[in-house]
Structure 1
Amino acid sequence: MSLADELRTLRSEYMTAPFWFWNDVMDPQEVRRQIAEMSRQNIGGFFMHARMGRVTPYMSQEWMTAVKAAVDEARQRGMFAWIYDEDGWPSGFGGGAVNALGEEYLQQYATAEIIPCNGSVGPKLDRPKYIIAAYATGKKVNGFGDCHRLDPNDLPGSWSRLPATCRERLVVFRRELHNYRRHFSPEAWADGYVDVLNPKVTRAFIGKIYEAYRREIGKAFGGSVPGVFTDEPSYHELGWSEPVVRLPMSPVLEREFEKRYGAPLLDNLMTIAFGGPEAIRARWCFYSCLAHLFSHNYTRILAEWCQRHKMVFTGHYLLEEHPRCATHVIGDPMLHYYYQQYPGIDHLGKDLDLKDFWSSARVLVKQASSIAHQFDKPRVMCETFAGGGWHFGIREQKWMADWQYAMGLNLVCQHAFHYSLRGFRKRDYPPSLSFQQPWWPLSGDLGAHFARLGYLLTRGRRVVNVLVMHPIESFFATHEPGGYPWPNDPMNESLKKLVEYLLAHQIDFDFGNEALLKRHGRVDGAGIRLGSASYDAVIVPHSLTWRKSTLTMLRKFAAAGGRLYFVEPVPTHVEGQPTDAYGPLLEEAMSLGHWQAPEFRQCIADLVGPAARRACRVLGNDPRNLDIMVMHRRTEEQDIFFLTSGAKTEHTASIVFDVPGFPMQVDTVTGRLLPIPHTRENGECRIDPSFDFAKSYTICFKRSRRASLPTPETQVSQNTLCRPGDPLPYQIDRDNALILNRGELFIDGCSVGIMSTLDAEQALAQHGNGPQAFMRFTATSETRVSGAELLLETPENFEIKIDERVVPVPAQPLWFVDPCMKRVPIPGGLKPGENTIELHFRWRQGLEIEP
C-alpha cells in the first residue's frame, strides 16, 4: 500500500483520547450523546475519569450502567473507552475501599521531632508506642560528631549514661499514618492514602477496582476497552512547606533495605534525614531501595495484570518532570515507564517549558520516549493542556502537542472534556476542550491532524545515535529530604541545559537508565546496546555517583573505541562511596567542559554533532532556529521528518537533509502528499520553510523514482479578499450572550455589597443555613430585545424576578452551551434601558449561585 493510500483513512487508535471528567449525575443517554460529539470531531477514544463533582456513587451499579453505555457506544463508533482506575487521584486507594482495610494498608512515614534537652535530665516521651527510633546528639542535629541511637523504652533512665557531648538534643522518629483529605471527594473515607511499596496493597487495589471492571466489561478488554490509566501514585507527598523532616516508611522497606545492604534501616535514619559523613551512601541506598520497591510492587504488578487480560497499562506519576522532586515522591520515573505498555507523562500548563524551578519539560518527555524506543513500546501517552485556561483554543493545542510529538510522544490525552460545567466544575483545571467551546464545530481538522501525525510517527523507528546517561541516582545520593524547595540545584540545571542544547542542534538522544542498563545493556563493537536500541556516542552529564556496573560498561565502551563524553563537574563516587576509579576513563573520554561555561553549547554542537550523524540540520544563526524541534523516523521505504518550532513569531529557516529520495510534504489534515520546493547540492536536500505559531511540517523522503510520486495539485482559493478597513462579512453561529457574574447581594433584606457570584457564595457560607437572600443584577439594552432568555444553572432553586415580575421556569427547559445551563424565557423580552434581574432563595450549604 502506498503512503498516499495509508493516509487516506483516519484510524481511531491514532486519534487523541481525552480525559473525560465524569463529574455529575451520569446519565447513560447523555454519555452516548457526548461520545457522538467526540466522534464527529475525530476524537478516537476517552478516559472515563471519576472527578470532583461526581454525584453517581463510584463503582455503584448506576456507575457501571453508565460505563457499559460508554463502552457500547464506543464499540459502535469504532472508538476506545479507557478505564481510569481511581475516584479522583492519586491512584491506589480504590475509592476508599483499600484504605478502609486497616492501618497496615495505609501509607506510613517516619517523622522526626527534635527535642531540646537539659544535659543531665533525660526527657520523658509521649506516645511511646509510635516511636520507631531515637537518637541522642549534640547541638548540631546531624550525623556528625557524637550521635547515639537509643532504645526509647530505656528513657529517661539511660540518659545519664550517655556522653555529655550528645545530651543536648533528642531526635525522635515516630511512625505516622497518612491522613490527608482528598478535596475532590465528599466521603469520609477520603482520609488516608495507601502504602504503594507493599504488594499486598496493590493486589487489594486490583481486587477492588480492576477485577470489578473485569466482571462488568471484561468481554471488551483488549477491544473497545484497550487499557487502564493510573494517576499520580507516590510513596510521599511533596508538601509545599514541610514543617518537619518526614521520610517514607513501610515494613516492606525496612526488610528490603536490610536485605540489600546488610544494615537495619533504623540505624541509618539519622544520617538519611539530617546528613553526616556517610550521608551520600546512606541516601543512595535509601532512595534506590524506594525506587525499586515502588516500581516493582505497584507498577509491575498492575502492568502484568493488564498484560494477562490483553490490556495496556498507562498513566503517569507524581512530579516526574523534575529529578529532585521525583526522588522525593516516586523514585525513578524510567523504571515505571519500563513496566508500562504505553509509558505516560503529564505536561501541565499552557507553555512548552516554564521558566522556573519546574522547567524540565524536555527532560520529562525524553525520559518516557527513551524507554519506548529502547523497549519497543509503540505509544507514548501525554496528559496535557491542564490549566491552560478557557482561552486555550485550537492553535494553542496544536502548538503545544506538535512540540511533544517532535520529542517522541504520539498519544495525546487532552485535559480535559468536562461532562458537566455545573457550579464549581467549570473551575476544575480549565479548559474544557469539548462541545461547550465556540470553536468545537471546527475542531475536526485538528483531530485529523493528530490522527495522521500519530500514525506517521509510529512508523519504523526513531533514528538516534546518542545515549545520555540519566543521573537520577546522583539525585538519590544528594537528596536532603527536609530541604524543600531545594533552590539552586546545579545538577538539575546542568541536565536541563544539556538536554536543551542537544535538541537545539538537532541531536536527538535517549536517556540511559542505570538499572535497565545493568539488566539489558551490553557493549556491541564500538557501540552500546540497550534493549533494541544501539548508540555510537555516550554522554555522562554532571553527576556525583554511578553504579559499579555502569562504570564497568563505560570502560569497555571506551576501550572498544566508542565516543565517550563527560560534562563537568565529573563524578567522584561509585554507589555513593568516594573513589578515584574515574581517572583512567576521563583520560580516554572527551570533555564537553563545565555546564556553566559560555562555550558549553558550542562544544556540544562541535563535538557531539558529528558523532550523532544528523540527517537533518538547521542552518544559520537566527536564535529562533534553536526552538526548531525535529523528529526523524526511518522505515524500509522512506525517511519521515516532523519539524515544528516553539517560537511564536514568524521566521524562515534553511534546513538540509542528508537522506536519499525526493521530499514530499504531508498535509496531515487532508492526507494529501504535496511537493515541497527544494534544491540539492553535494547530495544534500535543502528546503527553506517558514515557521509561525503552531505551524509544522511533515516531510517524507521516499526512496523511489520521481515518476512514481504524485504530481502537484493546483488549488484555487475560495476565500474572498478584503482590503484593510473594508467591512468583513460574518455570521453568528450561536446565540449571543451577556454574562452576569457580578451583582448586589442582600441577606435578610440588608445589602452586603456588589460582588461576584463566587464571592457571594463565600459570604453566605459564613451565615450557616437558613437566611433569606437574593442577588440583584442589571442589564442595559439600547433597544427592545424580544425573545430574550435568562440562562441559569439550577433555576428550580430560585424565584426569578425581572423588573419585579416573577418569571416562570419551564418544566423541561432547553439548554445552551452545556446541559446544566437552562434557558428561561423572559416574558416580553428586555425593555430599552436598565433591566433588573433578581434571584431569590433561602440559603443552604451546597447551593450554588452561577451566572
Structure 2
Amino acid sequence: MKKIHLTILSLMLAVGGTADAQDGADAQSAQRLFDQFADPGSEFRTKPFMVWNTEITPHRIDRILSEYKEQGCGGVFIHPRLGLITEYLSPTWNEMVKYTVDKGRDLGLEVWLYDENSYPSGFAGGHVPREMPEAFNQGQGLKPTAADTMPADVSKYFVIVAEEDGKFENVTDRAASMAGRPGRFYLYEKTFYQPSPWYAGGPYVDLLAHGVTDKFMEITMQGYEKTFGGDLKGNVKGVFTDEPEIVSPGGVRWTPDLFDVFRSEYGYDLSDCLPQLHEEIGDWRKVRHDYFQLLNRLFVERWARPWYDYCAGKGISWTGHYWEHNWPLVTGVTDNMSMAAWQQVPGIDMLFNQFNEKSTGAQFGNIRSVKEVRSIANQLGRRRVLSETYGGGGWNVTFKDMKRLCDWQMVLGVNLVNQHVGHMSMAGVRKFDYPPMFNQSAAWWNDYRALNDYIARICAAMSLGEQRNDILVLEPTTSVWMYNQYYGTASLNRAMEIGQAFQDLVTELEHAQVEFDLGCENIFRTNGSVRDGKFVVGQRAYGTFVVAPQTENLERETFDMLRGFVRTGGRLIAFGHPSRVEGEPSAEAEAFFASDSVISLAECTPEAIDRYLRSEGIRFVRREGGDLHHHRREFDSGQTLLLVNASLDEASDVEVALNGKHAVRMDALDGKVYEMPVETANGAVTVKTRVEPAGSVLLYVSNDPVEARKPQVSTGGTPLQADGPVRIARHRDNVLLIDFIDLQNGDKQYKDIYYNNAGAEVFRNAGLSGNPWFWAMQYKQDIVNMDLSAAPGFTAAYRFTVSGTGVDTKSMKILVERPWLYTVKVNGTPVQAGEDWLLDEEFKLIPVGKYVHSGENTVELVAAKTTVHTELGAVYVLGDFEVVQRGDRWTIVPAARYGPLRNWQALGAPFYPWEMKYAKRFKVNGVAGKSYYVKADRWTGSLVEVWVNGRKAGIVFAEPYTLDVTPFVRKGKNDVELRVVGNMENLIGPHHVAYDGIVDPNRWNVPQLRKASEYFLTPFGLQEDFALVECE
C-alpha cells in the first residue's frame, strides 16, 4: 500500500506567500495602481541579468548600475557566466557582491543573487563535486544490456533482472552461479555524470541524492550570509535558480536510495521491474507512473523544498526556472507545476525570437508554459511571476519585437521581466553569448528607457489586483508519466500525443478568450479540496473542471475530489475519459466518466465553448483580426482589462462588454490616463477599440468615474509640405568590419581564416582544445593560472583596401579588443591606444589616419606570447567614408552626399548600426488651436527617434507609427529629423551562419572565407518619406 508523507508539505504550500511587500489590501487598491502608473517603483521595473564575465571591479559595477538606473531598470540579478575571471565565491567575489548591493541601495535598485556559476544549478561552480564526491560517484543511471545467455563475468553489472513469461525477478545475488544459462536477461550497469569544462572541469551532481542540495546551499550561501552578517533580507531580494535537472547520464535514472524508498512507498521492489521502465511488458504503465511520481517527490523534497524553506526563513524570495519547455517529456523535470509551486516567485524562461504556438517544446508562443506558472501564482498566493526573456533572440531584435514578446507574456500572467543578458564584458567569445545584450553596446540603448517604462507600467497593472478564473483545466502530467522513459523511445510517441492534445486545447481556449487556470494533481494532493460545489486549489475556487483530450490517468485524490465535486453541483467537462487511477486500470473511473454526472464532449467546438466555458464577467461582442489575448484583474473599486495583439502584421478590432459604468484607457507608453468612449446598458460598459499589430490596450473599468484627459489626435489631418526632399546623413562615423584575417602562429600559417576560428587555432597550438573560455566555467583560478609559457606567439594580419582618391583618411580610427596585449601595427608602424573606447571598455579606439594610404592596408596584432587573454576579435575601421563591394571584398571609397531613400548598404554603410538622420524643414503658419503629429510608415530598424527643432520629441517603434509633436512645433520654420536606429547585428553578426530567431555562440564558427555578397545583413533605413501632419 502506498504511503503518503506530505502533511508538512501541504501546510507549507497552503501558507505559500512571497517576500514581496504588495500582499494584502494594498495590492487590491486601484488607487495604488494609479499612483504607480506614471512612474512605477523599482519592484515593478525590469531586472536584467548583470552578467559577471570578466574581472569584477567597483568601476565596472558603478558604470553598469548607473546605466541601468538611467534606462529605467529596477534592479539586477548578479549572474556569473562564461568568461568570469574573478574567482567565483571567493572573498573578492563576496566583496564585489556587497559593493553591488550597497551601490544598488544608493541608486534605488534591487539586487538579486544567482545560485550558480552559469547553469544548470547544483554544482556550485565545481565546488560540490570536489567537496562532496558522493554527489556524483555513486552513479546516476542504470544502463541496460539485453542478453539471451547469462555472461560468465557479471562483476560490472549493478542489477541483473531475469524475465520469464512476462514476469521479472532481480537475480543479481545469484547471477554468478547462472553463468551460461539461457533465458532473457537485462543487465544494468551504473552510469555517471562525466566531467566537463561546462561544469568547471568536474561532473554535474545528483540532486536526488541525500545531502547534495544541503551541500550546494552551504557552499553557495555561507559566503553571502557572512558578508551580510546573516541579514540577507535587508540586502538582497532573493535568489535565482537556473534549470536544475535530474537527467540521466545513460539508462534509467537512479539514485542511491531509490529502491529502498520505492519499496517503502509502493510496497513492491522496483529492481524487479526495471525493464518495465523501458519495455512495454506486463504492468509497465503502473510501474512508470509510480517511478516518476517518486522521482517527482524526491526532486521536491530534496531540492525545491529546502530552497523554498531556506529563503522563507531568511525573508527573501526563491525564483528562477526549470527546463519547462520539454513537457510532456519529463526526464529532466518530472512535473513543471509541482516544482514551480515551491518558489516564492514562480518563473520560466522565454528565450529566442521564434513565435510558435504549435510545438509542445516551443518557447515564445507556448501558452501552456506561461499558464502553468500564472496558475500556480493564482492558486498559492504568489504575487509575482518571473520570466527570463529575450536571450538568444539575436542582435537584430527590434523594440517592436521586444514589446511584442513581453506583451504576450504579460497578458498571460508574467509580471517580473528579467532581461537575458547584460554583459559586463564583450571581449573574446563573451560577445557571442546569446545576444542581444542589454547594455550600452546596443545601438538602441539610449532609447531603452521608453520601453522599460512601458513594461514597468504593464507589470504594475499585472501585479496588483487579482485574477480570478472560474475554470480549471487539468494538466495530464500523470498520464504522460506512464509513457515517458529514460532509456529507449518506444512509448514516447504516446506521451507526445497526449501532450500535443493538451497543448492544442490550451491554445484553442486562449484564442477563444476563455478565462482559465491550469491544474496540477500533485498540488491537488496538498492543496486541493471540494467546498460548496467548487473545486478548491489553495486560494482559488473553480466551478468548472475540464479534463483534456486523451487524458488517461487520475491520481486517487483527484478522482475522489471530482466525484465529490459533481455531487455538490460542480460542472465537470470531459474531452478525455481517464480509465486509470494511479496508473492502474479502474472500472470505477470508466463508469464515472460514462455517467450522466459528466459532460462528455468529443471535441472543443466554438459552440461548446459558448455554452460551457464563458465567464459572466466579460463578453466579447466582436473581435476581428490579429491574434488577440486578454487578462482581467479585479480591484477594490473596479477591474483592469489588458488586451494584447500578438500578430506582427494584422490589427485586432474589438468590442467588449464588462461590468461597470465608466472606462478609461491607461496608456502604458506615456503613463497617462485618457478618456474612453463607451456605451452603457444594464450595469455593463461596452468598449470599442483597435489593438494594433504587436500592440496593447489597458483599460480600467469601474462604477465611479476616473479623472482622465482627452486622447491625442494621431489620425486624419493634413500633411504639410516640406521645403525640399529629405536630407540623409550618418549621425556617427561609418564602420568597416574586418573579420577574415591571415594568421602566423609559430611555424603555422593560415590564410583568410575567420577571426574566431583563428583564435581557436592559437589556443589549439598552445596545447588546449580551443578557446579556454568558450563553453567553459572556471573552477577557482584554473583557467587564469594555465601555463601557456611554451606556446608560440602569433601575428594576426587584418587587411583592408582604400580605393581611389578623396577618401578622408585623416579621421580614420581602428577599434581593437584589448590592444595592450599586443604590439599593434598599421602598415608596419606601431600605434598606441589611448583611453577612448567604443562598445566595451576593453575595445579601444586608435587614431591611424596618418598611416593609412590608398590601396591595401594592413593592421597587425603581434602577440609576443599566447595567454588565456589573447582572444582574437574582429578589427573595425571607423571614419567618414563609404563601404562598397568590389569583387569579393569590402572596400572603402570616398563618402558621397546621400541621394534618394535607399537601404544603408546601398548608402555605403552595410555594417553601420547606429542612427541615420533623415531631415526636412516645414513652415507652419500658426499653431493656436492645432495639433501636430509625425507619421513614419515604412522603415527598417530597431526604432525611430523623432527630433523637432533640435529637441527629442520621442520615439516610434510600432503601429500606428505616429508621434504627437504638438509641444515642439512653433510658428514659422520647423526642422523635423527622424533618426532610424539600427542594431548590432550588422556590426557584430553572425554574418556567415544562417539563423532565424535563435542565435547561440556556435553561430560565430565559420569554416571558410565568405564573399562580400554572401554576408547576412539587414537592409536598415527609411523606405518611404515621413510626414508632419497638422490637425485642426
SS at match of 2:562: helix
1:461 shift after superposition: 0.6
Letter in 2 for 1:174: E
Of 204, 229, 233, the residue aligned with 1:222 is 233
Of 371, 375, 385, the residue aligned with 1:370 is 375
Equivalent pair of 1:505/1:609 in contact (CA under 8 Å): no
Equivalent pair of 1:199/1:298 in contact (CA under 8 Å): no
Is 1:133 matched up with 2:159? yes
SS at match of 1:298: helix
1:275 maps to what in 2?
A: 280
Equivalent pair of 2:33/2:461 in contact (CA under 8 Å): no
Equivalent pair of 2:43/2:74 in contact (CA under 8 Å): yes
1:252 shift after superposition: 3.4
TM-score, length of structure 2 as denominator length: 0.74
Which consecutive aligned stretches of 4+ in structure 1 deviate over 6 angstroms post-superposition? 719-726
Equivalent pair of 1:418/1:432 in contact (CA under 8 Å): yes
1:848 maps to what in 2?
A: 871
2:1013 maps to what in 1?
A: none
1:29 maps to what in 2?
A: 59
1:48 maps to what in 2?
A: 78
SS at match of 1:328: coil
Of 283, 288, 294, the residue aligned with 2:293 is 288
1:517 shift after superposition: 1.3
Of 751, 754, 760, the residue aligned with 1:753 is 751
Letter in 2 for 1:16: T
Is 1:775 matched up with 2:786? no
Q: Following the alignment from structure 1 to structure 2, what is the Cα–Cα distance between the partners of residues 281 and 725?
A: 80
1:334 maps to what in 2?
A: 337
SS at match of 2:524: helix
Deviations 1:686-728 (A, max 9, x none): 43433334311111113204xx5324166799x9968799644
Letter in 1 for 2:177: G
SS at match of 2:751: strand
1:149 shift after superposition: 2.6
Of 506, 515, 519, the residue aligned with 2:513 is 506
SS at match of 1:739: strand
CA separation of 1:136 and 1:506: change in aligned 2, threshold 3 A = same
Is 1:200 matched up with 2:221? no
2:324 maps to what in 1?
A: 320
Is 1:112 matched up with 2:143? yes
1:343 maps to what in 2?
A: 346
1:271 shift after superposition: 1.4
2:313 maps to what in 1?
A: 308
Equivalent pairs, count: 809
Q: Following the alignment from structure 2 to structure 1, what is the Cα–Cα distance between the partners of residues 598 and 654?
A: 30
SS at match of 1:669: coil
Equivalent pair of 2:802/2:857 in contact (CA under 8 Å): yes
1:436 shift after superposition: 0.9
Equivalent pair of 2:738/2:798 in contact (CA under 8 Å): no
Of 129, 151, 155, the residue aligned with 1:123 is 151
Deviations 1:589-636 (A, max 9, x none): 5556445xxxx34255233333x33514262454x3xx2110100011
Equivalent pair of 1:78/1:224 in contact (CA under 8 Å): no
Letter in 1 for 2:171: L
Letter in 2 for 1:67: V
1:141 maps to what in 2?
A: none
Is 1:703 matched up with 2:703? yes
Of 739, 742, 747, the residue aligned with 2:740 is 742
1:471 shift after superposition: 1.0
Greater percentage in helix: 1
SS at match of 2:84: coil
Q: Following the alignment from structure 1 to structure 2, what is the Cα–Cα distance between the partners of residues 603 and 198?
A: 51
Q: Following the alignment from structure 1 to structure 2, what is the Cα–Cα distance between the partners of residues 411 and 754?
A: 46
Q: Following the alignment from structure 2 to structure 1, what is the Cα–Cα distance between the partners of residues 693 and 754?
A: 35
2:528 maps to what in 1?
A: 521
Equivalent pair of 1:546/1:571 in contact (CA under 8 Å): yes
Q: Following the alignment from structure 1 to structure 2, what is the Cα–Cα distance between the partners of residues 659 and 181?
A: 59
Equivalent pair of 2:826/2:852 in contact (CA under 8 Å): no
Q: Following the alignment from structure 1 to structure 2, what is the Cα–Cα distance between the partners of residues 716 and 172?
A: 74
Query: What are the equivalent positions in structure 2 for 1:309-708 lying under 5 Å apart?
Result: 309-317=314-322, 319-325=323-329, 327-353=330-356, 355-356=358-359, 358-359=361-362, 361-484=366-489, 486-487=492-493, 489-541=496-548, 542-568=550-576, 570-582=577-589, 583-589=591-597, 591=599, 593-594=601-602, 600-610=604-614, 612-617=615-620, 619-620=622-623, 622=625, 624=626, 627-680=627-680, 684-705=684-705, 708=706
Q: Following the alignment from structure 1 to structure 2, what is the Cα–Cα distance between the partners of residues 199 and 340?
A: 21
Q: Following the alignment from structure 2 to structure 1, what is the Cα–Cα distance between the partners of residues 691 and 394?
A: 25
TM-score, length of structure 1 as denominator length: 0.90
Letter in 2 for 1:742: F
Higher relative contact order (CA 8 A, sep 6+): 2
What is the RMSD computed on CA atoms of the aligned residues? Answer: 2.7
1:670 shift after superposition: 2.9
1:535 shift after superposition: 1.0
Q: Following the alignment from structure 1 to structure 2, what is the Cα–Cα distance between the partners of residues 493 and 449?
A: 34
1:675 shift after superposition: 1.4
Q: Point out where structure 2 has 5 or more consecutive residues left out of the alignment.
A: 1-30, 767-790, 875-1032
Equivalent pair of 2:657/2:684 in contact (CA under 8 Å): yes
CA separation of 1:215 and 1:701: change in aligned 2, threshold 3 A = same
Of 155, 170, 192, the residue aligned with 2:175 is 155
Q: Following the alignment from structure 1 to structure 2, what is the Cα–Cα distance between the partners of residues 464 and 284?
A: 30
1:497 shift after superposition: 0.6
Q: Point out where structure 1 has 5 or more consecutive residues left out of the alignment.
A: 139-143
CA separation of 1:652 and 1:369: change in aligned 2, threshold 3 A = closer
Equivalent pair of 2:756/2:872 in contact (CA under 8 Å): yes
Q: Following the alignment from structure 2 to structure 1, what is the Cα–Cα distance between the partners of residues 224 and 621?
A: 50
Equivalent pair of 1:506/1:618 in contact (CA under 8 Å): no
Is 1:253 matched up with 2:258? yes
1:176 maps to what in 2?
A: 191
1:747 shift after superposition: 5.0
1:283 shift after superposition: 0.5
1:403 shift after superposition: 0.5
SS at match of 1:374: helix
Equivalent pair of 2:740/2:755 in contact (CA under 8 Å): yes
SS at match of 2:98: helix
Equivalent pair of 2:566/2:572 in contact (CA under 8 Å): yes
Deviations 1:325-365 (A, max 9, x none): 3x211211212221211111111211343654513721111
1:264 shift after superposition: 2.4
Equivalent pair of 1:653/1:690 in contact (CA under 8 Å): yes
Letter in 1 for 2:246: Y
Mean Cα deviation higher: 438-447 or 273-282: 273-282
Mean Cα deviation higher: 399-408 or 261-270: 261-270
Equivalent pair of 1:674/1:710 in contact (CA under 8 Å): yes
CA separation of 1:473 and 1:799: change in aligned 2, threshold 3 A = same
CA separation of 1:170 and 1:752: change in aligned 2, threshold 3 A = same
Of 709, 712, 731, the residue aligned with 2:710 is 712
Equivalent pair of 1:809/1:824 in contact (CA under 8 Å): yes
1:108 shift after superposition: 3.1
Deviations 1:37-93 (A, max 9, x none): 000011001110111100000011221121111101110011111010111111122
SS at match of 2:265: helix
2:95 maps to what in 1?
A: 65
Q: Following the alignment from structure 2 to structure 1, what is the Cα–Cα distance between the partners of residues 755 and 532?
A: 70
Equivalent pair of 2:143/2:190 in contact (CA under 8 Å): no
CA separation of 1:151 and 1:835: change in aligned 2, threshold 3 A = closer
1:463 shift after superposition: 2.8
Q: Following the alignment from structure 2 to structure 1, what is the Cα–Cα distance between the partners of residues 128 and 748?
A: 49
